[in-house]
Chain A
Amino acid sequence: MHTKKITVTQPEGLHARPAAQFVQLANRFQSTVKVRHNGREANGKSIMAVMSLGASAGAEVELDVQGKDSEQACAELTTFLGSGVVR
């Protein structure tokens, strides 16, 4: 299991386009992905749930990744959120 606190530097935060990309990335892994922000938790493989977190740029989010490929999943998702690289 991997838990990690990250500050979102994606310039658009976790909004429609980056949220869609985040969810697509999360779905490539077998592990379960949970995203926590402001005391709420969302399934990282659900665009509806991730978008309703309303996490904007600079927001603190916590990733909770569990499963066989959690190490790589956590690393890639962290890079995506924290690097500001959209693609």
Chain B
Amino acid sequence: MTVTSTRLHGVAGAPGLALGPAYVLRADEEPVTADQVVASPDAALEMQRWRAARQQVEAALRRLAERARTSVGPAEAEIFEAQALMAADPTLEGQLSAAVADGGSAEQATRAAIAGFAAQFGEIKDVYLRQRADDVQEVGRALLRALAGRTPLGLAQVPQGAILCATELAAGALVMLDRSTLAGIALGTGGVTSHIAILARALNIPAVLGLGDFVAQVNDGEIIGVDGTRGDVILDPAGEELTGFHRAVTAYAQERAELESMAGLPATTPDGLHVDLWANVGGLDDVAPALAAGAEGVGLFRTEFLITGRQTLPSEDEQTDIYRRVLEAMGRRTVVIRTFDIGGDKDVPALGLRHEANPFLGYRAIRIGLDHPELLQVQLRAILRAARGGYSVWIMLPMVARVEEVRRVRAVLDSIREPSDQQVRLGIMVETPAAALIAATLAPEVDFFSIGTNDLTQYTLAADRTDERLADIYEPFHPSVLRLIEMTARAAETAGIPCGVCGEMAGDPRATALLIGSGVGELSMSAGSLGVIRREVRRTPRPAAIGLTQLALALSTADEVLAHVEAFRATLRG
């Protein structure tokens, strides 16, 4: 076998497939890294150079903000408005003029001042503010480019349909490009939460980031394939590899166009049953993609990111702040906030949890919360505070196995809530077989159920979902799991409370009919699955789904269930 292509793996920054000629942004188009040595800089001249550069940068960033406002959205425009203010900042200018008066060049002074601010921001405990250190760095790079006589945002003309390859890219550079121009992005740096990733997702440009030192391997103009869904890049594919990738790009574009054309349509079955399609989010950055995909609410807001890997617990203020930002961003749609689901595979150094032989059956989630009022009470208070002002917030408890746990949390909640907080609902994740089996007992005690199918499957079949040797046992379509789901939904219906699903099954189109047929009314999933599930709901009549579900519950194996599901879906597709 002759290997003609190189495959690289990076971070899946923005989903989608693209194939096109590489346009390589080389390091020599980037600002000089060595300080220009000036024998004895003339302070007045250096300051004059700096002011000219700063004006250029500020003007470019303001134009960029305008452009972002019309082509991307107001939230993205604010990134650049804040950057323009940073460039024009009087404190920055003060530091510059002091450093230049001391004999530094404008470049040296800029570098030092920017490093100082970035370090200062980096120390702030608030995670969002800490990320603003990146903005400061970006402004610094723009200033250095302008000082070197280059265009501040550092991007030349990119040919139509090209894949932009670079070690790093300023977020602003991306917005300035005509979005119809750029087919894809491959970058050496950047993570899932970087500005570039967020913008690329907003602009629907497939992007693979964090590829390291790959630019040296890419020749300008050679064909390169980008799989932003998986995080793969293929350099110079040929023969079957090339035609295969090309077919995949075409199929992806067709599928995308079909799903996009449906994004504004209601998720309603042909017989008129509306199914709420909600999104699972892990922070503020997930909200915009969820809304763009037509999410009607957040069915699972994971809050663990606030706490895992930290030495100190997040304060009530910090939490309130972050919850409120997500609530605001969702524009008053319902947001289900799950209390800290820690322990198991998510360690929290601040709690000094001891190692367990069997962590998933151990000390985790609500079990820890009930023992640590400094954790649970603070979080509940923060949620209540964030919800004030008429937000629709549901609090969801993970890992409930016994009714006492719900009662204890409700007592805590009642002791801290004010009369105006009554609109905040309290519900549970049904993810232990125990909770599903006593669903009829739990239902009158809570305001909603949300079935966590991942843990429910792992606990029901006693199969660790992270152990690949057990992959064929860990099977959410096993009749045992389906029966527990149906029991739970039926108990919710009897008690008159909503029942949703927020595990992987919610985003799996093979499960849609079975969940509708069980009586599940909300499906919550990652934003990327909303389109596929919307289409599936719209072609699944409820009476037929109930028939399929009743049949499936009586089957013997998961394989039988899946065979019936596939036959059923084939008839729906016509």
Contacts and interface: CB of A to CB of B under 8 A. Distances in A.
B320 A54 contact: no
B109 to A, nearest CB: 15
A49 B91 CA distance: 7
Interface string A22-66: 011000000000000000000101111101101011110000000
Contacts of A59: 317
**Taking chain B's interface residues, is the majority helix, strand, or loop, or is none over half, making it mixed?**
helix
B91 A54 contact: no
Interface in B226-273: none
B127 to A, nearest CB: 11
B121 A11 contact: no
Nearest to A57: B321
A48 B136 contact: yes
Interface of A: 11-13, 15-17, 19-20, 23-24, 43, 45-49, 51-52, 54, 56-59, 84
Contacts of B135: 16
Interface in B67-120: 78, 81-82, 85-86, 89-92, 117, 120
7 contacts: A11-B320, A13-B321, A15-B321, A17-B82, A46-B91, A51-B129, A59-B317
B213 interface: no
Contacts of A19: 82
Chain B contact-residue range equals 20 to 34
Contacts of B367: none
A37 to B, nearest CB: 12
Contact of B324 (A11, A20, A45): A11
Given A43-B91, A47-B89, A52 B321 contact: no
Given A16-B129, A16-B132, A43 B325 contact: no
Most interface-central of B89, B324, B325, B389 (chain A CB within 10 A): B89
B132 A51 contact: yes
A45 B125 CA distance: 23
Contacts of B90: 43, 45-46
Interface in B325-339: 325, 328
Contacts of B325: 11-12
A17 B89 CA distance: 15
B78 A17 contact: yes
B85 A47 contact: yes
Contacts of B386: 11
Contacts of B89: 46-49
Contacts of B318: 56
A17 B132 CA distance: 11
B324 A52 contact: no
B124 A57 contact: no
A20 B117 contact: no
Contacts of A56: 126, 317-318, 321
Return the 9 tightest CB-CB contacts between A and B, nearest first: A46-B91, A11-B324, A47-B85, A20-B82, A54-B124, A49-B91, A58-B317, A48-B89, A52-B120
Given A43-B91, A54-B125, A54-B129, 18 more contacts: A11-B321, A11-B324, A11-B325, A12-B325, A13-B126, A15-B321, A16-B132, A17-B82, A20-B85, A23-B85, A24-B85, A43-B90, A46-B89, A46-B91, A47-B85, A51-B121, A52-B120, A58-B320
Nearest to A19: B82
